[in-house]
């Protein structure tokens, strides 16, 4: 808490320093689902890291309000033999990602594939022509 002590020049908050420090395991915030987005051959492509998941049971993909929603759940198996863990960095539970679709994306014909722990979703994008300029008449008042 070195940074905090520099702004507390008078030591007024010193009794609270221990309360503000989190235990070491609590400081590790799990990362959200890792994704990459790009366009290729007229399609918007989203790839999501999904190692160890069964795409048929654990992954759900849909389009909602102009965005691609990817949801997944990793379940922790409970075994009869209790293990004494020293550390676990594998994230269990439900996680999701909402990726806004670009202009011109068609919500029909969206395709999703899963291979080698990577979910790939392809959304066709129709090239939109820029709107034509519309001349506004000026009325002399």
110, 101 Cβ separation under 8 angstroms: no
27: pLDDT confidence band, cut at 50, 70 and 90?
A: very low
Beta bridge partners of 71: 60, 96
**0.85 exceeded by pTM:** no
**Residue 58 pLDDT more than 60?**
yes
Measured CA to CA, the distance from residue 4 to residue 9 in angstroms comes to: 9
Beta bridge partners of 118: 49, 115
pLDDT tens per residue across span 59-108? 999 999 899 999 988 876 655 556 676 666 666 778 889 999 998 898 88
Strands 111-115 and 93-100: unpaired
85, 92 Cβ separation under 8 angstroms: no
In terms of phi and psi (left: phi > 0; alpha: psi -120 to 50; beta: otherwise), the region of 42 is: left
**Domains of the chain listed by start with CATH number:** 34-77+99-126 (2.60.40.790)
113: pLDDT confidence band, cut at 50, 70 and 90?
A: very high
* pLDDT value of position 12: 60
pLDDT tens per residue across span 3-13? 444 555 555 65
* pLDDT value of position 33: 80
Q: What is the chain written as a DSSP string? A: -HHHHHH-TT-TTGGGHHHHSPPGGGG-PPP---EEEEEETTEEEEEEE-TT--HHHHEEEEEETTEEEEEEEEPPPP-SS----S------EEEEEEEEPPTTB-STT-EEEEETTEEEEEEEBPPPPPPPP-PPPPPP-
């Amino acid at each position: 808490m070195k940074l905090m002590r520099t702004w507390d020049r008078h030591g007024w908050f010193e009794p609270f320093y221990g309360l503000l420090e989190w235990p070491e395991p609590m400081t590790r915030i799990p990362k959200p689902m890792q994704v990459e987005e790009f366009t290729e051959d007229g399609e918007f492509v989203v790839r999501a890291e999904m190692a160890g998941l069964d795409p048929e049971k654990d992954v759900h993909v849909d389009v909602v309000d102009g965005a691609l929603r990817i949801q997944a759940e990793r379940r922790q198996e409970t075994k009869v033999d209790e293990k004494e863990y020293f550390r676990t960095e594998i994230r269990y539970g439900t996680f999701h990602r909402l990726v806004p679709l670009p202009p011109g994306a068609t919500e029909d014909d969206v395709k999703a594939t899963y291979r080698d722990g990577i979910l790939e979703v392809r959304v066709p994008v129709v090239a939109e022509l820029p709107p034509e300029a519309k001349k506004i008449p000026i009325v002399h008042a």
